[in-house]
Structure 1
Amino acid sequence: MKYSKATDYALHTVLYLARNPAEKNMGVKELAEQQNISPTYLSKILNKLVKEGMIYSSSGVNGGYALSPHWENISFLDIIHAIEGKSSLFDCCLNSNPECSIKKVMLAAEQKLEEELRNKKIADLV
C-alpha cells in the first residue's frame, strides 16, 4: 500500500507547524523550503487541510498558516483522509458479491490500520 507524496508533505507540514510557536503564522514559502518542494504544490495541500479545519490561513503582512486551536486532536488518519479521501484502499473486482471472502479480509485489515492511525496524534511527536 502506498500513500501519495502529498500525504507525506501534509503530515510533515502539520508536524512542523506543531513544533513551532503558535503565535507566529508561517508563510507557504517557509513551509515549502522545509521540505524542498514547490510553494504552489504545497499551497494545494494546505488548502485541503484548511478546508478540513486542521489549519487556518490568514492574509496580509503577518499572514500565513497556523494550526487550529484544537490541533492536539489531529490524528494521522485525519490528515490522510484530508489528502487522500475516505474511500477504501481495496477495490474488489467482484463488488457485486457481498460474500467475497477476499474483500472481507482486506477490509478487516484496513480497519485495523485505520484504528492505529486514528490513535496516533501529531501531538504525540511534538
Structure 2
Amino acid sequence: MKYTKATNYALHTMLIMAKNADKRISVQHLAEKQDLSPTYLSKILTKLVKGGFISSFSGAHGGYALPQNWENISFLDIIHCMEGKSSLFECCLNEEEECSIKKVMLLAEEKMEADLKGTRISDLIR
C-alpha cells in the first residue's frame, strides 16, 4: 500500500497553510518550502481547490488560503481528494461475500480510515 507523491505533497501543503492560516500564500512560496516545481504543485492545488479544501485568489494580492472551517479537515479528506475513494484491496477470486481474506483486509482498511478521519491537519499545529 502506497499513496502517491501528490498526496504526500498535498498533506504537506495543507500543513504549511495551516501554520499560516491567516494569510494568503503564493504557489511559489509553497513550492519553495517543499522544493517542488510550481507547475507540479499547481496541479495539486487545483485538486484541493476543486475539493473545497483551499480557496484560490487571483491578482496582485492573490494566492491560496484555507476556508473558514479548515480546522475540521482530516487526513482522510485530503487523501480521498487526491486518491479517490476506492478500496485498497480487491479479492482476486471474485468471491465477494464469502471471502474471509477480503473481510480481514476491509476491516483493517476501515480501522485505518477511521484513524485518518479522526486526525485533522489542525491537530499537528496545536
Residue 122 of structure 2: aligned partner = 123
DSSP 3-state at the match of 1:88: coil
Aligned residue for 1:102, secondary structure, equals: helix
Tell me, what secondary structure is at the counterpart of 1:89?
coil
Question: How far 1:21 moved relative to its partner?
Answer: 4.4
Q: Which residue in the other structure is 1:66 paired with?
A: 65
2:56 paired residue number: 57
- Other-structure match for 1:19: 19
In the TM superposition, residue 53 of structure 1 has moved relative to its aligned partner by: 0.6
The two structures have a TM-score, normalised by structure 1, of 0.95
Which residue number corresponds to residue 87 of structure 1? 86
Query: 5+ residue gaps in structure 2?
Result: none
Per-residue CA deviations over 1:53-74 (Å, capped at 9, x if unaligned) read 1100010001110111100000
Shift of 1:94: 2.2
Shift of residue 45 of structure 1? Answer: 0.7
CA deviations on 1:74-116 (whole Å, 9 max, x unpaired) are 0000000000100001122123532111111100000000000
Q: Does structure 1 conserve the Cα–Cα contact (< 8 Å) formed by 2:21 and 2:66?
A: no
Aligned AA for 1:72?
Answer: E
Q: Which stretches of structure 1, 4 residues or more, deviate above 2 A after TM superposition?
A: 94-97
CA, structure 1 residues 21+104, in 2 after alignment: closer, same or farther (shift >3 Å)?
closer
User: What is the root-mean-square deviation in Å for CA atoms of aligned residues?
Assistant: 1.0
Alpha-carbon distance in structure 2 between the residues aligned to 1:46 and 1:78:
14
* In 1, Cα distance between equivalents of 2:92 and 2:65: 42
* Structure 1, gaps ≥5 residues long: none
CA drift at 1:52: 1.0
2-side partners of 1:49 and 1:120: how far apart? 18
| TM-score w.r.t. length of structure 2 | 0.95
Q: Does the alignment pair 1:46 with 2:55?
A: no
Which position in structure 2 is the counterpart of 1:76?
75
Distance in 1 between residues matched to 2:74 and 2:41, nearest whole Å: 20
